[in-house]
Chains A and B, each alone.
Chain A
Amino acid sequence: MITFTEVSSLAVAVQLIVTIFKLRAPGMSLNRLPVFAWSQLVTSFMVVFAMPGVMIVSSALISDRLVTTHFFDTNAGGDALLFQHLFWFFGHPEVYIIFLPATGMVSMIVATFARRPIFGYPAVVTSLVATAFLAFGLWVHHMFVTGIAQLGASFFTAASMMVAIPSGVQIFCWIATLWEGRIVYRTPLLFCLGFIVVFVIGGLSGVMVASVPIDTQVHDTYFVVAHFHYVLIGGAVFPLFGGLYYWFPKITGRMLSERAGRWNFWLLFVGFNLTFFPMHWLGLAGMPRRVYTYPAGLGWGDANLLATIGAFLIGVSVLLFLVNVLMSLRQGETAPDNPWHAGTLEWATSSPPFVCNFPEIPIVPGPEPLWEERGERKLAYGLRGDVREVLVTHLVDATPDHRYTFPDPSIWPLLAALATTALFIGSIFTPWAIPIGAVPVAVTLIGWFWPKTPADEPEA
């Protein structure tokens, strides 16, 4: 099942990389690419390099179970730690795969609500790329207590410390943007401000766990539970809520309620900190992770009670969000094309967008095209309307390269996906699902890629 989902995420990653590299609007050179698109690009490359690790490990595990291989069976010469190495070679980049798109959202939202372009665009983009590279050199910090050699551990301590720098640079740039700007407080920005408050705590506790001696105490305790919730709920869920409030009008054509949004934010902010802050202390006070109970009298009761109360507040907050979404979908205020008077291109099209996104392809004059265009919007002409033709642009400067005709709608990709699904789900139960299931996969792929002679090629 894990291999299945990773195959699908690899497919998405490749699709995103190609789209971002080759299908940009003319004029959107790489130095005008919105930071969110940059973050998706970097994340997609990370997916391409990280996912094979977990695909290998889950395949090895299932073959240990189904066809009696011995990758991890120590009685037969296998190695239990091999699992951890392969898993964390994926698992650590994975947390940045979760986190980087969220930082991209923060960069977009902060710029819009500070009413000015992001400060230090090159530094922010460089930080994204640097984080991606460093992310692949950190995995052993999840294994500091497995008895690995201290020399190796020291290297991973240093690398884990250094990954704080690009994250720090991004935070400094956001604060600088706010400092220079004139801030308009709306729900999306509240979530980004909450993100900065919370995520900095998570980053700093990350510096603590990067240190081998400290990690030997707090590893697999509630301290680590607190740490990764501060970086993942703080670092990804807060921005994600901000992003939902920000782009909901674009996606649905309706505004979310601002009033409910503020309640949503404050309940989440208070509930989150009430839940997870005491866990730092719990871990130091000796409470390990993954226990269903603990003896009375070790003094952990009060902090756990606080955490439970906080968890209920988080629950109320998320329920409120769901109610807000449902109510707004039915009777929310109608969203204009650009409700936030933002500068990036998605706000140029209608809310919700057309199926083709843009009926006419705009020409991009700068990093914040809607803020920078003077007079009438310049458009690109010359694509055919009767077939699905798109404009392919050059990778770096996004000058027009050639026209490309997308294939017509086809049933084969769906059939190929269903066949692949059947293969992977079957492989949970029997190894025979692989050879037998490969036949329909092959048939559907052949059908999909069968050479087609274009019937009406305009100029051969």
Chain B
Amino acid sequence: MLALAGCGGIQSATNPGGRGADAIYGLWSVFLVVCAVVWLLVMAALVWAMLRRRARHPMALAPELDSDPNTKRRLRRTVELATVATLVILLGLTGATYGVVSKIFPVHPRTDLTIELTGHRWWWEARYELPGTSASVVTANEIHLPVGADVTFVLRSDDVIHSLWVPNLDGKTDLIPGQTNTLTVRADRPATYRGQCAEFCGLQHAYMGLFVVAESPPKFDQWLETQRRPAPPPDNPDVRHGLDVFMANCASCHRVRGTGATATVGPDLTHVASRATIAAGRLPNTPGNLGGWVADAQQQKPGVLMPPMRLPPADLQSVLHYLGTLR
């Protein structure tokens, strides 16, 4: 998942891995064939028209004001026929559209799992509602789903309009301030898919990515169980020092469950080390990248709302060690 290279099609509408994307890809294929045939027919008519009376005519060629009535009638019939054919084709395509709409947008969608997804500049906050408990799991930019389950995203925005788009799973839906949208998806093929914000939302719209990990239900349950746990307490002095540095410098924006850090301005970091990327899919989650990100996030994502952290090198190392324990 870290190495994007060689993962062609992990963010593509032509490589469906979910119910919605699959149905849309089928519909798209029908449209593509019909439209290609129509274009070829129109081009054939145009070429025929150009070849029919070809000669090097001079510009001063006397205009023809009348034409043979029989030719005129045949031509008129042809244009009328083409118009009716256009209507019939469009009605067919509209019917095919309605068929797919009723399939992928049921009036009362089934839901096995609900995820509240909130758009922020420029990252995604995902909150899993856990049935039967008041607890919830909060993570960022990496969403895990069980394959085969109907997962409903409850979409909100904290600032401007964003749009959730994971093309391999389904079409996109906007996250609009002051409004709640929903999107129900079902992943059919276990894989890691990439998505990104599809509505211009400011400076770092381009790097507002996310990953969706579709996995077997047992693996998903295991992941969710891990995510539910609070952060482990530090088990050595270096990590303990890291926690102190974190509390002094990072806790005003970030939350780590199980510590006193409860702010929700930036992403929840309770299990940050379990995530494959940082900065909304911008960088692989390696200690080097994380260190660079903490020191000066602007270098990687100019305009990002996280300020540079001028920490002494030893403190930076300790805080990185601490973050590394948040698995």
User: Interface residues, chain A, CB within 8 Å of chain B?
Assistant: 74-75, 78-81, 115-117, 119-120, 123, 145-147, 150, 153-154, 157-158, 161-162, 164-165, 168-169, 171-173, 175-176, 178-184, 186, 193, 196-197, 200-201, 204-205, 207-208, 211-221, 284-286, 288-299, 339-341, 343, 368, 371-372
Contact bitstring B50-65, A, C-beta under 8 A = 1, else 0: 1011110111111111
A296 to B174, CA, bound (A): 26
Residues in B with CB closer than 8 Å to A214 are 24, 27-28, 31, 97
B305 at the A/B interface (Cβ < 8 Å)? no
List the one stretch of B76-84, B136-144, B241-249, B252-260 in contact with chain A.
Answer: B76-84
Taking the nearest CB of chain A, how far is it from the CB of B60, in angstroms? Answer: 5
Chain B's nearest CB lies how many Å from the CB of A262? 15
- Closest CB pairs A-B (n = 4): A216-B171, A74-B178, A297-B4, A147-B181
CB closest chain-B residue, reference A294: B206
**Secondary structure dominating the interface of B:** mixed
7 contacts between A and B (CB under 8 A): A175-B49, A193-B46, A216-B172, A285-B9, A286-B13, A341-B60, A368-B65
Residues B78-99 near A (CB distance < 8 A): 78-79, 82-83, 86-87, 90, 93-94, 96-98
Distance A45 CA – B135 CA, assembled complex (angstroms): 59
Whole-angstrom distance from the CB of B63 to the nearest CB of chain A?
Answer: 5
Which chain B positions have C-beta within 8 A of A340? Answer: 59
Residues in B whose Cβ lies below 8 Å from that of A298: 4, 8, 10-11, 194
CB of B314 closer than 8 Å to a CB of A: no
Q: Is the CB of A217 within 8 A of B75?
A: no
Is there contact, CB below 8 Å, between B42 and A216? no
Residues of chain B with a CB closer than 8 A to A75's CB: 177-178
A228 to B63, CA, bound (A): 36
Q: Is there an interface contact between A217 and B171, defined as CB atoms closer than 8 Å?
A: yes
| Stretch of B100-108, B111-119, B221-229, B268-276 lying at the A interface | B100-108
Closest to B181 in A: A147
**Residue A284 contacts which of B3, B13, B75 (CB distance < 8 angstroms)?**
B13
Chain A CB within 8 A of B133 CB: no
Residues in B neighbouring A168, C-beta threshold 8 A = 82-83, 86
CB distance from A34 to the nearest CB of B (A): 15
Contact A147 B90 (CB under 8 A): no
Cβ contacts B1-26/A at 8 Å (1 or 0 each)? 00111111111111000001101100
Answer whether residue B161 sits at the interface, using C-beta atoms and an 8 A cutoff.
Answer: yes
Minimum CB distance partner of A214 in chain B: B28
Tell yes or no: B322 within 8 A of A by CB: no
Quick one: which of B24, B50, B93, B176 contacts A161, CB cutoff 8 A?
B93
Contact of A146 among B97, B174, B198 (CB under 8 A): B174
Q: Closest chain B residue to A179 by CB distance?
A: B49
Please tell me if the beta carbons of B63 and A116 are within 8 angstroms of each other in the complex: yes
Contact check, A212 vs B97: say whether CB atoms are below 8 A apart. Answer: yes
A74-B177, A157-B94, A207-B31 known; 7 new pairs, CB 8 Å cut-off, are A116-B63, A150-B101, A158-B94, A181-B53, A285-B14, A290-B200, A371-B63
- Cβ of B113 to closest chain A Cβ, rounded Å: 20
Cβ-based interface call for B318 (8 A): no
CB distance B174 to A145 under 8 Å?
A: yes
- A123 — nearest CB in chain B belongs to which residue? B79
B285 within 8 A of A: no
- A341 pairs with B59, CB closer than 8 A: yes
Q: Which residues of B contact A294 (CB under 8 A)?
A: 206
> In whole Å, how far is B102's beta carbon from the nearest beta carbon of chain A?
8
Q: Kindly provide the distance from the CB of B276 to the nearest chain A CB, expressed in whole angstroms.
A: 14
Distance between Cα atoms of A165 and B49 in the complex (Å): 21
Complex interface: chain B residues within 8 A of A371 (CB):
63, 65
Contact B65 A207 (CB under 8 A): no
**Out of B14, B42, B105, B194, which one reaches A175, CB within 8 Å?**
B42
Complex Cα spacing A220 to B55, Å: 47
Assembled-state Cα–Cα distance A218/B76 (Å): 37
B48 adjacent to A217 (CB under 8 Å): no
Cβ of B206 and Cβ of A216 under 8 Å apart?
no
Partner of B8, one of A81, A220, A299: A299
Tell me, rounded to whole Å, the shortest Cβ–Cβ distance linking B62 to chain A.
Answer: 8
Let me know if B205 and A213 touch, CB within 8 A.
Answer: no
**Cβ proximity bits B167-205 to A, threshold 8 Å, 1 near / 0 not:** 100111110111101100000000000101111100001
* B167 with A217: CB separation less than 8 A: yes
The reply to whether B87 and A165 contact each other, CB–CB distance below 8 Å, is yes
The contact string, 1 if C-beta is below 8 Å from chain A, for chain B 267-311, is 000000000000001000000000000000000000000000000
Q: A343 and B209 in contact (CB under 8 A), knowing A80-B177, A211-B27, A213-B101?
A: no
By CB atoms of chain B within 10 A, which of A175, A182, A299, A368 has the most? A175
Complex formed: what's the CA distance from A205 to B31 in Å? 9
B90 contacts A207, C-beta separation under 8 Å? yes
In the bound assembly, the distance between CA atoms of A81 and B86 in angstroms comes to 34
Q: B176 contacts A80, CB within 8 Å? A: yes
Instruction: Report which residue of B8, B10, B75, B181 has the largest number of chain A beta carbons within 10 angstroms of its beta carbon.
Output: B75
Contact B93 A117 (CB under 8 A): no
Question: Quick one: given A80-B161, A207-B90, A291-B205, are A115 and B57 in contact (CB under 8 Å)?
Answer: yes
**With A176-B78, A176-B79, A197-B43: A218-B13 Cβ-Cβ less than 8 Å:** yes
- Whole-angstrom distance between the alpha carbons of A164 and B9 in the complex? 32
Q: Is the Cβ of B206 less than 8 Å from the Cβ of A293?
A: yes
B31 and A182 form a contact (CB under 8 A)? no
Contact B42 A200 (CB under 8 A): yes
Does A205 contact B4, Cβ atoms closer than 8 Å? no
- Residues on B with C-beta less than 8 A from A285 are 9, 11-14
Instruction: List chain B residues, Cβ under 8 A from A115.
Output: 57, 61-64
- Asked if B174 and A169 make an inter-chain contact with CB atoms under 8 angstroms apart, the answer reads no
Q: Any chain A CB within 8 A of the CB of B70? A: no
Q: Are the CB atoms of A284 and B14 closer together than 8 Å?
A: yes
Q: Which of B7, B82, B173 has a CB less than 8 Å from the CB of A297?
A: B7
**A-facing residues in B148-175 (Cβ within 8 Å):** 155, 161, 163, 165, 167, 170-174
Q: Is B134 an interface residue (CB 8 A)?
A: no
Q: Which residue on chain A has the smallest CB distance to residue B71?
A: A180
Q: Which of B14, B61, B194 is the one whose CB lies under 8 Å from A182?
A: B61
**Known interface pairs A80-B179, A216-B24; A211-B64 also in contact (CB < 8 Å):** no
B236 at the interface (CB under 8 A from A): no
Given the complex, which residues of B lie within 8 Å of A119, measured CB to CB?
Answer: 75, 79
CB pair B176 A286 closer than 8 Å: no
Residue numbers in B under 8 Å from A216 (CB-CB): 24, 170-173
Closest partner residue, chain B, to A184 (CB atom)? B57
